[in-house]
Structure formats: C-alpha cells, structure tokens
Amino acid sequence: MKSLNGYKVFISIALLLGNGHYNFDKMLLFTAKSMINRLKDKGRDTYPETHQDAPSACLSGRGKLLTKIKWEMMAKYLMS
C-alpha cells in the first residue's frame, strides 16, 4: 500500500482498536462499580419484613404461568 491508502487503512484500524478498547474499559468500570455496590449492600436487609409482601406471593396462577413462559422463551432464544 502506498501513500494515502496506507494511511487510510492505518487510521481505520486504529479507530476500531481504540473504540474496542474504550468499550472494554467502560464495561469493566461499570462491572466493578456494580460489584462494589452489591458488596456494600450485602449486609442490608433488602427483603420485606413479611413474605406476603414479596412479589412472588402476589402472583396468581396465571401470573406464575406467564413468568414461566417468559423464562422458557428467554432460554430458547439464548440456545438458538
């Protein structure tokens, strides 16, 4: 490759690598912050006092069926 074409290819590859490095660092930072926040909140009681207030207790038979169907659909999507 000569002159301008070589520089175009170099710039293109540098942009792709730089963008990938930026996104990797960004996701690594968000993951680390999330893990630190979860470790800080681990000691707190995040569950309701009574189990009747829990969302799963409020679901009727139809709601439980819909939840089950959603999980099955997500699993099938991930397998394909």
* The predicted structure's pLDDT at residue 77: 75
Report the C-alpha gap between 4 and 1 in whole angstroms: 8
For residue 48, being part of any structural domain is answered with no
Report the C-alpha gap between 56 and 50 in whole angstroms: 12
For residue 50, being part of any structural domain is answered with no
- Count the domains in the chain: 1
Reported pTM:
0.43
CB proximity list for 54: less than 8 A, separation 6 or greater: 47, 48
Report the C-alpha gap between 15 and 21 in whole angstroms: 10
Block means of pLDDT (10 residues each) for the chain, 80 residues, are: 77 86 89 88 62 56 71 76
For residue 11, being part of any structural domain is answered with yes
Report the C-alpha gap between 5 and 60 in whole angstroms: 65
For residue 51, being part of any structural domain is answered with no
For residue 47, being part of any structural domain is answered with no
Report the C-alpha gap between 45 and 59 in whole angstroms: 23
Range of the domain at 67: 3-42+56-79
